[in-house]
Amino acid sequence: MENMENKDSLLVSVDIGTYQTSVVVAEKTHDGLAVLGIGTAPSQGVRKGLVTNVENAAQGLQQAVAEAEANASCEIHNVFVSLTGGHMEGISSQGVVRVKGGEVSADDVREVVAVARTIALPPECEILHVFPQGFLVDGQERGRDPVGASGVRLETDVHVISVSSTALYALQKCCERAGLYLNGVYYGALAAAEAVLTPEEKELGVVVIDIGAGTTSVAAFCQGVVYYTAVLPVGGENVTNDLAVGLCIPVAEAERLKQQHGCALTSLIAPGEAIEMPRIGERDAAPLPRRKMSEIIEPRIEEIFELVREQLDFGGLSDRLGAGVVLTGGSALLEGVPDLAQRVFRMAARRGAPRCASDVVDPKSQRVPHLISMEGHVDSLAQSPMYAANVGLILCHAQDTLRPPAQVRNGQNWQHMRERVVEWFREFF
Ligand SMILES: Nc1ncnc2c1ncn2[C@@H]1O[C@H](COP(=O)(O)OP(=O)(O)OP(=O)(O)O)[C@@H](O)[C@H]1O
Ligand SMILES: [Mg+2]
């Protein structure tokens, strides 16, 4: 490829979704991240978030990568990939160890987390992430950093995410076939959360619901840490299928109508509002009341939200989500989705667009890397809820390396902390 630069500072994320494969290229700059280019291609060989045909999925990936390379004028070799699918499971676990030297050391912390992650997994499954939620030393809460506390008994609660080994292997194969090196894998809804939530929202309690085509991925945070994750095998393609069946139209036509005129809340539509349905087969063109469409869409999205709400109720989380619901994924673009979420969850709901520099106001948030506002096409695309997982993956991996020198507080402490962050990051990965 001529005139294409090969930069070390590039961060590339890949989302092989059920509907589309998207690639986002960003570059580290001294004060943030600049999105250089995006490439997309329709996905093939992906069902309910799972790569079922490596060959076909790799083709889509290659196509999306080529487009991103052309847009960003660069060569792509290394990628971070997001993962979702019904095979994923969020599991809460605990660990206890004896503190060896009378004072909790980093080794004790590592050991107690290792104990907590020792769980019986279903066959062919492995651990993708381990998120410690907090530590107790001799029964006393010590928050997220117990190092230095005196005591004899160290306990922790962790949230473990397990995934199918086959799914991971398929992703790796897919990247290999497309000539890419897989740098790391991250759960999609957590990546999306990284792009659309503020640290304050995570402290207050918040749930991210990423509604894709084949899946709905959920991640809830309380007091700044991951408390709950789950993936439901339903999403936008169910809505499209319902429309195709309900209106007796081909799936492709149902998809088009949904994206152009769909609404998830019937009460938002004025009576008499109609759209023109084109001539299909023997049937003449005819006006279609928009309400008729939304009467099909609403129950399906409502059902998805009810399922999520039941799970949150079951986990005792519903009262702990002060910052409400944040919606990402392509299906969050549907008109009325936040209003419907507000009704079902009885809490505030908004769409989550990947944050950009202009959104960052308070000093606490400034430690979080953000997209630099760039003029034009790429920037506005990257700010769609549809690319939240892509952008979030990049932010996850930039997080540690992007802290500007001005924020580096007193040397040694910072270095110590940074090493631990890096270690923990490996642990989570
Ligand atoms: N403007 C729109 N209005 C309504 N729905 C939309 C719109 N644009 C895209 N969608 C829907 O969003 C879905 C695709 O979203 P997304 O790209 O987040 O899914 P995916 O990541 O490919 O799927 P999954 O996460 O389930 O594997 C499709 O079902 C599509 O119909
Ligand atoms: Mg997705």
Q: Check if 60 has its Cβ closer than 6 Å to any atom of ligand 1.
A: no
Q: Which of 381, 268, 347 is nearest to 39 (CA)?
A: 381
Say if ligand 1 is within 6 A of residue 61 CB. no
CATH placement of domain 199-353: 3.30.420.40
Mean pLDDT check: name the lowest of 37-46, 138-147, 379-388: 379-388
Answer whether 212 contacts ligand 1 (Cβ < 6 A).
yes
Compute the distance from residue 230 Cα to the ligand 1 centre, in Å.
18
- Shortest-distance ligand to the CA of residue 60: 1
351 lines ligand 1 (CB under 6 A): no
**Index of the ligand 1 atom closest to the CA of residue 215:** 26
Question: What are the pLDDT digits (tens) for 304-325?
Answer: 999 999 999 998 999 999 999 9
pLDDT for the residue numbered 8: 65
> Would you state the pLDDT for residue 321?
97
* 400 CB neighbour count, 10 Å cutoff: 13
Q: Which CATH number is associated with domain 89-164?
A: 3.30.1490.110
Cα dist from 80 to 45, 188, 262, 376, 404, whole Å: 20, 11, 33, 25, 23
Measured from the Cα of 386, ligand 1's closest atom is 18
Distance 127 CA to ligand 2 centre (A): 20
Q: Residue 258 pLDDT > 90, yes or no?
A: yes
Give yes or no for residue 258 CB within 6 A of ligand 1: yes
Residue with tokens 């439901």: 232
pTM of the model: 0.89
Q: For the chain, give the percent of residues with pLDDT over 90.
A: 73
Distance 356 CA to ligand 1 centre (A): 22
Atom 7, ligand 1: residue with shortest CA distance: 259
**18 within 8 A of 213, measured Cβ to Cβ:** yes
Banded pLDDT at 370 (limits 50, 70, 90)? low
- State the average pLDDT for the chain: 86
> Is the shortest distance between the CB of 18 and ligand 1 below 6 Å?
yes
Find out whether the beta carbon of 21 lies less than 6 Å from any atom of ligand 1. no
CA distance 335 to 261: 8
Ligand 2 mean position, distance from CA 388 (Å) = 9
**262 Cβ inside 6 Å of ligand 1:** yes
Per-residue pLDDT of 79-112, as tens digits, reads 999 999 999 999 999 999 999 999 999 999 999 9
Q: Looking at residue 35, what is its pLDDT?
A: 86
Instruction: State yes or no: pLDDT of 12 exceeds 90.
Output: yes
Residue 387, H or E segment: none
As to burial, measured by CB atoms within 10 angstroms (0-12 exposed, 13-18 middle, 19+ buried), residue 281 is exposed
Q: Tell me the ligand closest to 22's alpha carbon.
A: 1
The pLDDT of residue 338 is 98
Centroid of ligand 1 to alpha carbon of 36 (angstroms): 23
Please give, one letter per residue, the 3-state secondary structure of 210-249. Answer: EECCCCEEEEEEECCEEEEEEEECCCHHHHHHHHHHHHCC
Closest ligand to Cα 85: 1
Ligand 1 centroid from CA 83, angstroms: 15
The region of weakest confidence among 229-238, 239-248, 281-290, 340-349 is 281-290
Domain ranges of the chain: 89-164, 199-353
pLDDT tops 90 at residue 171: yes
Spacing, Cα 9 to ligand 1 middle (Å): 30
| Residue 28 Cα to ligand 2 middle (Å) | 24
* pLDDT over threshold 50, residue 165: yes
The token pair that represents 375 in the structure block:
């003029």
| pLDDT of amino acid 31 | 65
Average pLDDT over residues 236-260: 96
Over the stretch 33-43, which tens digit does the pLDDT of each residue have? Answer: 788 889 999 99
In whole angstroms, how far apart are CA 363 and each of 3, 360, 385, 403? 40, 8, 25, 13
Which tokens belong to 384? 């769609």
Count of CB atoms situated within 10 Å of the CB of 196? 26
